[in-house]
Amino acid sequence: MRKKIVAGNWKMHKNAEQTEDLLNELIAKIPTDTDTNVIVAPTFVNLASAVDHLEFTNIKVAAQNVHQAEGGAFTGEISADMLKSVGVDIVILGHSERRAIFHETDALIANKVNTALEHDMTVIFCFGEELKDRQSANHFNVVENQLKDGLFQIEAKDWEQVVLAYEPVWAIGTGETASPEQAQEMHEFIRETVRKTYGNEVADTVSILYGGSVKPENAKEIFSKPDVDGGLIGGAALKADDFVAIVTAI
Ligand code: 13P
């Protein structure tokens, strides 16, 4: 059975007090008997307090990035060891905002993935095509290349620590969601791409999340598709009631 996962990527939102308030609401409202893995990714400065706050809950904490080096003269950066030392062992990598705004290449992302795995972290690996790729019917190629160039350097055994998050760039923060059929079509393609390189066991056990304007109103239909194992949620993760509704929609 594949893990069902709903993760909230808080991006650069919520100060310390707001982080605590949102976590308190989530603790109160997320059913404790859910078998869905719930993850939240607050900003770096609030990670340690989030870990403390969520200690006796079933909500896990992820970072939104990590540097590829072990340490050194990299002003403003955060290492895997630092994250682990405050109790964070999940990291989101390859997000389209990191790719587009901070110029992260597939090669750099591959490096970060390797570092995170060496530190026994779980990687939520994000990828997805831009609108122009879909309009030119190049979206499958783009997605395949992102997987091959950013992730397929890992060994089969590492897949236990990897979650895939397909996020079509045109659907992120735009209010425009991939239709459940478009999501399923791409998720199936992704799973088959994994299968060709890593075989059936990896392909059938890896969780593939959909991200891009998931809301309480569309979550159930998207999550009902056979190759969609959950969601990576942006805007709707910032409101407790919306996020909880998405968690329960699965
Ligand atoms: P939205 O849900 O706001 O579209 O963001 C998706 C996302 O980028 C999650 O990583």
- Tell me: is residue 46 an annotated ligand-binding position: no
53 as an active site residue: the answer is: no
Per-residue pLDDT tens for 212-228?
999 999 999 999 999 99
What span, in angstroms and rounded, lies between the C-alpha atoms of 122 and 93? 10
Q: What is the pLDDT of residue 143?
A: 98
Question: Is the CB–ligand 1 distance for residue 211 below 6 Å?
Answer: yes
Task: Sketch out the chain's domains with CATH numbers.
Answer: 5-247 (3.20.20.70)
HSE (CB half, 13 Å, CA atoms) of 113?
30
* Ligand 1 contact via 173 beta carbon (within 6 Å): yes
Is 221 catalytic? The answer is no
Percentage of the residues of the chain whose pLDDT score is greater than 70: 100
At 59 the pLDDT is 97
Our answer on whether the CB atom of 177 is closer than 6 Å to any ligand 1 atom is: no
The pLDDT of residue 157: 97
Residue 239 annotated in ligand binding = no
**What percentage of the chain has pLDDT greater than the value 90?**
95
pLDDT for 156-174, tens place per residue? 999 999 999 999 999 988 8
Compute, in angstroms, the gap from residue 243 CA to the centroid of ligand 1: 12
**For residue 92, what pLDDT is reported?**
99
Report the nearest atom of ligand 1 relative to the CA of 126: 10
Where would I find the H helices in the chain? 16-29, 47-53, 80-85, 96-101, 106-118, 131-135, 139-150, 180-198, 200-205, 216-223, 240-249
pLDDT, position 173: 82
| Average pLDDT of the residues of the chain | 97
For residues 43 and 15, the answer to whether their CB atoms sit within 8 Å is: no
b/e map 133-162, b = 16+ CB within 10 Å:
bbeeeebbebbbebbeebbeebeeebbebb
Average of pLDDT values for 102-106?
98
